Amino acid sequence: MKTLSRFLIKSSFIGAIILSATLSSFSQNEPLGPLMSVTEFTIKPGHDLQFQEGVKAWKECYIAANGEWTWRIWQRQQGDGNVYVLVSDMQNWAEMDKEDPVGKNCATIAINLINPHIEKSTNHITRLLPALSIASPTEDALISVSFFELTQSHGYLFLPTIREVTASITKAEGAARGYWYNWLTMGPESPNYHYVIPFENFAEMDMIRDGVWDLYEKEHGKEKREALQAEFRLSLKNTWVYQYKLNVEMSRRTR
């Protein structure tokens, strides 16, 4: 698989991975979206500039050697530590079997100029849910990402509620508001789903829009809203939200 993360993640961080039980929640009629590799790096305190320069040096080496792989690097804006997220897309699992000789040729740069500045890292695979998402990829450089960890007892209620609410949003506004992803591999602290809402800039986040539950109530009434909200809350064990800003200089969005 053509991925810089291969040369950045220590073996201790890519050990046992379990498949998510939420796969059974999907309708057999829904199309499968592309896979997305998500690698999160926590940078050592005081090493941010060195890490950035190391990634830029690897990118320069890779592009100069006509490498084909593309990726995005987002910096988390809140939370503990200094966190970057390396994201790349795959059409299917078979892409993980492919070798990238160009990436291997630039591996020493990652080993010498990037790895020393990483405190810890994790890698997981997610899949886009196209039936619930905006049709085209975002070009925006700011995203708000909501994470959802489900209960074992009632997690099965989550996706049906999302389908219903998304249908109301699409009917009222003509399209979905964001991108839903299912986590196919998970660790003890991983979510089951995450939801991405793109923004052009932080100022756009000040715009007031109708709440998604309000849109659902306008179509279906208060009683159905309260019933669906109750199921949604029952399905959740935990939820959290971060904003991420794209680092354009460290990314390669297109060839």
pLDDT at 29 over 80: no
Structure token digits, residue 53? 């320069």
Assigned CATH topology for domain 4-250: Alpha-Beta Plaits (3.30.70)
pLDDT at 25 over 90: no
This prediction's pTM:
0.89
Question: What percent of the chain is predicted at pLDDT more than 70?
Answer: 89
Span 205-226, pLDDT tens digits? 999 999 999 999 999 999 999 9
Q: Which pLDDT value is given to residue 5? A: 60
Q: How far apart are CA 104 and CA 74, in angstroms?
A: 23
Residue range 40-59: mean pLDDT, rounded? 98
How high is the pLDDT of residue 10?
Answer: 38
As a whole number of Å, the CA-based R_g of the chain is 19
Beta strands in 49-172 (DSSP E): 72-76, 82-90, 118-128, 142-150
Give the chain's mean pLDDT.
90
H-helix or E-strand spanning residue 43: strand 35-43
CB 187 within 8 A of CB 122: yes
- The domain spans of the chain are 4-250
Span 49-69, average pLDDT = 97
